Amino acid sequence: MLSADAQIRYMIQWFQEWSDLQKSDFLPIMAERYANRVFVNGIVNSLANVECRDKPMSLFECRVKLFKEWFIQWSVDQKDYFFKQITELDSTFAEKLNSELNNGAVAMVNGNGDLDGEVIDD
């Protein structure tokens, strides 16, 4: 089993490899974890429930799954370190993430400008 520090190093490395689209898919997942909120009816929910599929998960989906599993085991200091590292690597991502967290809700907007899903507290 990897140490939490090794897990964080992997996540930082993977984040640097991700495309802008993958980062935008990861944004609500990361915001959900840091805001302690559950997002339903959207990509976060669909990625969380990837169990039975006709095709294997993508590498990105596997890495997101690992993030979710690892994150709950990290200490507060480790979570803070990861957050700081990710936001320093990508200022645009950091602005969007901070906006999500400051709004107090994790929500995605569909192509029509309507909210796609609900936010509920744990």
Phi and psi of 3, rounded to 5°?
-70, 160
pLDDT tens, residue by residue, 68-101: 999 999 999 999 999 999 999 999 999 999 998 8
Domain ranges of the chain: 4-11+21-104
The pLDDT-based confidence of 21 (bands split at 50, 70, 90) is very high
> Which segments within 1-122 are labelled E, that is strand?
37-40, 118-121
Contact indicator for 106, 32 with CB cutoff of 8 Å: yes
pTM of the model: 0.71
Q: What is the pLDDT of residue 104?
A: 62
pLDDT tens, residue by residue, 23-64: 999 999 999 998 875 444 344 444 545 555 678 999 999 999
Contact indicator for 25, 60 with CB cutoff of 8 Å: yes
User: How many other CB atoms are there within 10 angstroms of residue 100's CB atom?
Assistant: 21
Q: What is the pLDDT of residue 54?
A: 76
Beta bridge partners of 119: 39
CA–CA distances in Å: residue 71 to residues 3, 55, 65, 83: 12, 26, 10, 11
Residue 112 DSSP symbol:
T
Q: What is the pLDDT of residue 36?
A: 74
